[in-house]
Amino acid sequence: MADEKTVQGTVTLSHVDPAPAQTWNWLAVNETSLEVPVAGSVEARLADGAALGDLVDTEVPDDARGIVMGAGTQATAWVDAGATERTVVRVPSGTDGGTVTVPCLSPDGTLAQTTVVVGADASAEVRVLALGDETGAATTGSALRLVLEPGAFCSVALLVAQGAGQRHVDSLGAVLGDDAELTIDQYVLGSESSATGVAVDLAGDDASVEAALHYIGRAGQAVDASYEVSCRGRRTRADIACTGVLTGDARKALRATIDLVRGCKGAEGSESETVVLAGDSVVNKTLPVILCSEDDVVGNHGATIGSLSPEQLFYLGCRGITETDAADLMVSALVDDAAASLGGEAAEAVCAWASWNLGPEAAENARTAADLAAGEEE
């Protein structure tokens, strides 16, 4: 599919990152839409009358077809049909599958379709790296499907570290069997716009997912994220925690939904978000939802949203720290956390992004954080 790297036209993706339980349309938070480049062969199929949504699951293995995907049908179909990279990994039962790296490179406009099936009592790690440069303009995408058999463990990390003219669409869908465990850590540091959607089906008893989103929105940037977890098995656990900093005129929308389905007795679900607004023109929208059809469950959700108070600004000002300096410190802290937590190739990408966006001092601080974290692990 090498010829499909040549962009022949564009297509508008509708119903991206949709909230399963929607609110009033005038709030403009239920979903988003994106105009993206479309590969020549896909454009031809659309011209012949095919609907984009019909192209979902293109070349996906049979045992991963039909998985609900977080970014929605059209966004996932766009990646599936135009994928420049297709990878299927099967981890045998009782083994360690190591690390699966999914590079999504802006200069190439990579669209990566990845399927990982983790056998019973096996483990695997998946890293999606959406990386760019200072000047390029491209749109990357990832459609990641996970099947976790009973007792399996999988950790997923996403890093979005792109330039001002670059965009990324990320769609993840997972199905978990009995006692399976999934952890998701997403770091969205920068891009012109990003849309990240996660859908997890806790089908088995005692299955669990922990999802964490760390995001930065700076001037002219848009961050869109959606999480949907269905607790169907008994004693399932879902935890969604989001932390972010918004500066300038950044725009952010977050949808987090935990569905406590009838029959999921003993299930627990929790959603939380903490976001700092460090700009008068910031647009911040958060839609936390817990759906409940079962009485023997626990569900909690909440959001802490605020800016620096006049008292805090006065305290900082007395120490020579301006409001802009304070915002920069909060952004740098999140960047340092990304470098320390991700390590390896991802940490180097974080440092490179920090260098061209925040300056050499920020890059050096991130590198120090990564080195310290690596030393603690040894």
Give residue 378's pLDDT band: very low, low, confident or very high (50, 70, 90).
low
- Compute the CA torsion angle 33, 34, 40, 44 (nearest 10 deg): 20
Is residue 7 scored above 50 in pLDDT?
A: no
Give residue 8's pLDDT band: very low, low, confident or very high (50, 70, 90).
low
Strand, coil or helix: 27: helix
Residue carrying the six token digits 């293995």: 61
CA distances from 160 to 149, 294, 353, 360 (A): 29, 37, 10, 20
Instruction: List, for residues 314-366, the tens digit of each pLDDT value.
Output: 777 787 877 777 778 889 999 999 999 999 999 999 999 999 999 999 999 99
- pTM to 2 decimal places: 0.93
Is residue 40 scored above 90 in pLDDT?
A: no
Instruction: List, for residues 220-232, the tens digit of each pLDDT value.
Output: 999 999 999 999 9
CB 188 within 8 A of CB 162: no
Instruction: List, for residues 53-99, the tens digit of each pLDDT value.
Output: 889 999 999 999 999 999 999 999 999 999 999 999 999 999 999 99
Average model confidence (pLDDT) across the chain: 91
Instruction: State percent of the chain over pLDDT 70.
Output: 96
Instruction: State percent of the chain over pLDDT 90.
Output: 75
CA distances from 338 to 213, 349, 364, 375 (A): 11, 10, 13, 16
CA distance 83 to 138: 15
Quote the pLDDT of residue 302.
77
